[in-house]
Each structure stands twice: as C-alpha cells, then as structure tokens.
Amino acid sequence: MPTAAEDVTAVVLNWKDTERTTRCIASLLGPGGPGEVILVDNESEGLLRGLSDRFPPGKVRLIESRQNLGFAAGINFGLAARRPGTRYLLVINNDAELLPGCLPALLVAACQDPRAGLFAPVVLNSDGSVQSAGERFWPLAASVRAVRPGYHPDYLTFACVLVPVSTLEQIGMLDEGFFMYWEDVEYGMRCRRQGLRLAVVPDALVRHELSASHGKASRWIDLYSMMGLAVLARRMGGTAYAGLGWRLLLRLGKRLAQGDLVACRFVLRGLALGMFPPHPVGHIGVNRLRNGPVPSDETGAA
C-alpha cells in the first residue's frame, strides 16, 4: 500500500536560527506535508520550546541537544528518534522550504522505484534558478559538478532528501566522523557502492536559501569544509588524496591573497581534525577546539 504524505516523518536541524526554522516547519505542515516533524535543536538555548504551540498538537516533536552535534550527528539524532513503523524520513535544512506538491511527488517516485536508495527534489535558489538536481563527485579535483544528461548522480544534497527506512537499515546513518559538509557526498557514494540508485524527482521542488549560516562563522566554515574533505579522502583513498591536496593549496592560496593568516590556521586545523581525529565522532573533536583557545571571536555553525 503506498505511503501517504502524512505518514512521513520530517527531520529538521536547528542551530540558533529560530526565524528560518519556523518558516521551514510552516512549509512542511501545509497541505501534502509530513505527519510529524522531529526538530533537533543543536546547542539548544531553549528558544524553540514554544514553537510547537504554533502548530496543530502532536505535529512538532522537539529534541534538544546541549552540545553542538554538527550536521551528521544532529541529523542522526533525529533519524534515530523516528517512531516504530516509519517507512520514510524527509531530511530538510532549516533554511529550506517545501513547495506545494513536493512530498507527494517524492513518494510517488519512491513507490515506483523501490531499488533507489534516496530521492531528492530539484532544489531551487531564492530567485527560482536551479541550485541542485543531483551531482557527481570528481575525486581528483575534490569537486562536485552537475549531472549531465544520461548520467546518474553520485550523491544528493541533504538540503532536502527523502530517505526510505530500508536504506538506513541497509546502508546505516550518516558518518559521524564528519561535522558539517561532505557527509552527503560520502553517503550517496556509499549507497552507490551497495547497488542503490539515487533518484532526482523533477516534479518535486524545494526552495533553499543557500549557506544561510555562512555569515555567522566564515572561518569555521573553512575548517569544517577542509575537515570534511579530509575525512572523505580517508574513506575513499586513492585519487581523493590528490584532490584533498589540490583543494588545500587553493584554499590556503585564497586566504593568503586576502591577507587572512588566521583563516589559514583554521584551514590547517580542519585538515588536522579530518586526517588525525582525536575521536572518531567529529563533533567531539570540533567542540574541544571550539571550547579551547581558538584565534577568533567567531562561533562555529552547524
């Protein structure tokens, strides 16, 4: 029997962004949206405790984390909290909004293609241009490119993705060695290695405010991205190490050209955290660094 949209559980991760999170949940709980939203409040300050009162009873379940879990562990926290019998989970960024008909279109595709492991909508920028419709990963350059016609994507952005629970049971959850960035690339390629296709659904649309948190933590973004690339290179091996070296040189060269030596230190710290992690769970190493003597007054995003 096909799953109805109201039988789907959505997982949303918040980090100090009540306004966008509220808009995201409002878009989810419109017609054709999921039956429940699990809201994980990362590094919670208690500001979202009254949010569920704005929506119908039982629709929003808040889970607070006192520490910053990052993206991978934060999303996993929500995925693990699903109710027994759940068949599909919709992971969506708090700075994204579900457009009408999106979830039903994803579910139709999932029912028609049970061999696919993930289903993604077309992700749009605020101006309506396409931000993502599936990408391929090029290890030698450590870069991603849009999928050409006739090719299947290597990964689907977790800005919004429908995850069958059967995929979680076969593949596992997100790799918590990552903190933020590149974990969706690793997950997509893990699915591909296990013989699961990745499907983009053209009739399903989501609007995503790209990189809403970047302005809060630009140097930390450098750290998280380089850390994620290093973890990805360790997971993949081979030419991925060459790509990591290339991206390291590019990132350092750019920051040196800007005269930002502190940013260079963040890049190198990210490389060290990814290559020689003090703990296999990425957010533990990151939080040790964030709580120590860091050469910046910025706070880290997730």
Domain boundaries, the chain: 5-208, 214-290
pLDDT tens, residue by residue, 180-214:
999 999 999 999 999 999 999 999 999 998 754 55
- Please count the other Cβ atoms lying within 10 Å of the Cβ belonging to residue 276: 10
- 138 within 8 A of 145, measured Cβ to Cβ: yes
pLDDT tens, residue by residue, 98-120:
999 999 999 999 999 989 999 99
| Whole-prediction pTM | 0.92
Q: To the nearest whole number, what is the mean pLDDT of the chain? A: 92
Q: pLDDT: is 298 or 286 the higher one?
A: 286
Architecture of the domain defined by 5-208: Alpha-Beta Complex (3.90)
Average pLDDT over residues 25-48: 94
State yes or no: pLDDT of 77 exceeds 90. Answer: yes
pLDDT of 89 reads 98
Beta-bridge partners for 199: 119
In sequence order, what are the residues at sequence separation of 6 or more whose Cβ sits closer than 8 angstroms to the Cβ of residue 19? Answer: none
Cα 248 from Cα 251, distance rounded (Å):
5
pLDDT of 291 reads 84
Label residue 53 by pLDDT band (50, 70, 90): confident
pLDDT of 119 reads 98
Q: Tell the residue number behind the tokens 């919670």, with chain if given.
A: 44
pLDDT of 215 reads 47
Which uninterrupted H or E stretch holds 140? none
Label residue 17 by pLDDT band (50, 70, 90): very high
> Residues of the chain with pLDDT > 70: what percent?
94
Which uninterrupted H or E stretch holds 88? strand 88-93
In sequence order, what are the residues at sequence separation of 6 or more whose Cβ sits closer than 8 angstroms to the Cβ of residue 203? Answer: 101, 105
Cα 300 from Cα 15, distance rounded (Å):
10
Which uninterrupted H or E stretch holds 16? none
Q: Is 12 exposed, middle or buried (0-12, 13-18, 19+ CB in 10 A)?
A: buried
What secondary structure letter does DSSP report for 7?
G
State yes or no: pLDDT of 52 exceeds 90. Answer: no
